[in-house]
């Protein structure tokens, strides 16, 4: 069976994602589509609107055949490490081709990555973010400016692909519909995930009717069956504030990416501000993007250390679900996998390989009441 890979967060799954899966199958002439999907927390450093099981179920009902979880230590990272983790898992699955959406699919991202030379001297400045400095350098060297989210990820995939012993074939397709950051539900077929999340978090009769045309039925089912949660709920903020207030600065310094004295800034802000918005305002500087700060805050809640987050620890393939076709492919392909396939979460894995994912799942369960790892086997969706 011919397989094609995709990478996604499905936060939540909408019509644009269904289109992506359909096109991936078509352009790669594939029998099955294998999705590597972020778990309960996503790249920006926020909780996903629905848990990983609901989002995997949405994908399996609308075009994906196998869903593999992108572990926390890869999923909650800047674009280049997020891409590295996703490509690492696809390569371990022996997937030959990856299809992804881009704002400018005509750009040869592989050639662009080959032209890019990372001169670290440019990043010693503290008046601008790393992303701004890197983009300026890339534009100066190549003439192309990365200022669209999916183009940035596309470039990151190309950079990560160069590091593989057996690179994948990368196939970009045109991203359709509303702008990535559009806040309002589109009248078109494809709305932005941002607008869909906003509509689900503050629903009205009108937006609920609109959602019926913008998301597949399984996403609507999730919306009706479990609460949609904001990226940073009041409960998550309280967990963070408690951690920052009671933990000594010397211990906070061990948190991943807690560099350049951030531990002092975050601790002082937590002691002096009662609300999440005020806290965010207090910690923001020109040096760090909000995404970077959100990720550091989430690492703090999880007590995620550098040793747990940097590349090099044990890698694995956590199976979240499969269709009938996906099961046939797994039976055929699993002997070739380069990492162990994990289908059941047990106490030994909780204490070792999956400990960080376990902590993330437990925190998400505390926020939502939705049962996580120990009470879940991989989803099975019966298809023709």
Query: How far is residue 34's CA from residue 7's CA, in Å, rounded to a whole number?
Result: 9
Query: Is 121's pLDDT higher than 50?
Result: no
Domain residue limits, the chain: 3-110+151-230+313-381, 234-309
Q: What is the pLDDT of residue 35?
A: 98
What is the dotted CATH code of the domain comprising 3-110+151-230+313-381? Answer: 3.40.50.620
Q: Report whether 240 contacts 270 (CB < 8 A).
A: yes
Give dist(CA 49, CA 228) in Å, integer: 5
pLDDT, one tens digit per residue, over 66-80 is 999 999 999 999 999
Average pLDDT across the chain, whole number:
90
Q: Tell me, what's the pLDDT at 120?
A: 41
DSSP lists the bridge partners of residue 305 as 255
pLDDT at position 127 over 60: no
pLDDT of residue 5: 98
| Confidence label for 188 from pLDDT (cuts 50, 70 and 90) | low
Predicted confidence band at 187 (pLDDT cuts at 50, 70, 90)?
low
Q: For 35, phi and psi rounded to 5 degrees? A: -105, 125
User: What percentage of the chain reaches a pLDDT higher than 90?
Assistant: 67
Instruction: Provide the angle, in degrees to the nearest 10, between the axes of the packed helices 276-283 and 262-272.
Output: 150
Considering the chain, what percentage of its residues have pLDDT values greater than 70? 90
Beta bridge partners of 322: 66, 380
Q: Where are the alpha helices (DSSP H) in 143-255?
A: 149-162, 193-201, 205-214, 217-225, 234-246, 249-252
Q: Tokens at residue 281, please?
A: 């305002």
| Structure tokens given for 131 | 């992303």
Cα–Cα dist 118/141, whole Å: 10
pLDDT band at 29 (very low <50, low <70, confident <90, very high): very high
Distance (Å) of CA 201 to CA 50, 228, 338, 365: 11, 6, 40, 18
Q: Is the pLDDT of residue 182 over 90?
A: no
| C-alpha distances in Å from residue 62, one per residue of 10, 18, 35, 195 | 12, 6, 12, 20
Q: Global pTM?
A: 0.92
Please give the annotated binding residues, written as ranges. Answer: 7-20, 101, 150, 175
Which residues participate in the annotated binding site for ATP? 7-20, 101, 150, 175
Residue 138 in this model has a pLDDT that exceeds 90: no
- Supply the pLDDT for residue 243: 98
- Flag whether pLDDT at 125 surpasses 50: no
Is residue 368 pLDDT above 70, yes or no? Answer: yes
| pLDDT score for 58 | 95
pLDDT digits (tens, 9 = 90+) for 231-290: 999 999 999 999 999 999 999 999 999 998 999 999 999 999 999 999 999 999 888 889
Does residue 124 carry a pLDDT above 60?
A: no
Q: Which of 8-17, 159-168, 182-191, 193-202 has the lowest mean pLDDT?
A: 182-191
């Amino acid at each position: 069976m011919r397989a094609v890979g995709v990478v996604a967060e499905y936060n939540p799954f909408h019509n644009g994602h269904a289109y992506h899966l359909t096109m991936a199958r078509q352009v790669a002439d594939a029998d099955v589509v294998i999705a590597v999907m972020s778990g309960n927390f996503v790249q920006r450093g926020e909780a996903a609107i629905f848990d990983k099981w609901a989002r995997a179920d949405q994908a399996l009902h609308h075009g994906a055949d196998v869903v593999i979880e992108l572990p926390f230590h890869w999923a909650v990272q800047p674009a280049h490490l997020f891409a590295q983790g996703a490509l690492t898992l696809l390569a371990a699955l022996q997937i030959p081709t990856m299809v992804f959406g881009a704002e400018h699919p005509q750009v040869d991202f592989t050639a662009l990555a080959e032209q890019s030379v990372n001169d670290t001297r440019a990043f010693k400045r503290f008046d601008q973010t790393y992303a701004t400095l890197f983009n300026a350098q890339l534009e100066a060297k190549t003439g192309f400016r990365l200022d669209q989210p999916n183009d940035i990820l596309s470039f990151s995939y190309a950079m990560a692909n160069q590091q593989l012993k057996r690179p994948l074939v990368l196939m970009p397709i045109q991203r359709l519909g509303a702008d990535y950051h559009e806040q309002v539900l589109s009248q078109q077929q494809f709305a932005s995930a941002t607008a869909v999340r906003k509509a689900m978090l503050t629903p009205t009769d009108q937006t609920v009717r609109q959602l019926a045309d913008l998301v597949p039925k399984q996403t609507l089912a999730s919306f009706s069956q479990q609460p949609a949660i904001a990226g940073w709920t009041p409960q998550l903020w309280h967990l963070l504030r408690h951690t920052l207030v009671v933990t000594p600065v010397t211990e906070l310094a061990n948190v991943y990416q807690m560099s350049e004295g951030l531990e002092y800034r975050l601790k002082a802000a937590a002691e002096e501000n009662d609300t999440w918005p005020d806290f965010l305002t207090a910690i923001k500087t020109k040096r760090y993007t909000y995404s970077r700060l959100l990720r550091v805050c989430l690492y703090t809640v999880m007590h995620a250390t550098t040793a747990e987050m940097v590349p090099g620890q044990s890698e694995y393939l956590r199976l979240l679900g499969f269709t009938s076709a996906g099961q046939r492919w797994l039976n055929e392909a699993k002997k070739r996998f380069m990492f162990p396939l994990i289908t059941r979460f047990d106490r030994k894995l909780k204490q070792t390989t999956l400990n960080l994912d376990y902590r993330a799942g437990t925190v998400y369960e505390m926020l939502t009441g939705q049962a996580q790892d120990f009470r879940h086997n991989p989803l099975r969706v019966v298809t023709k």
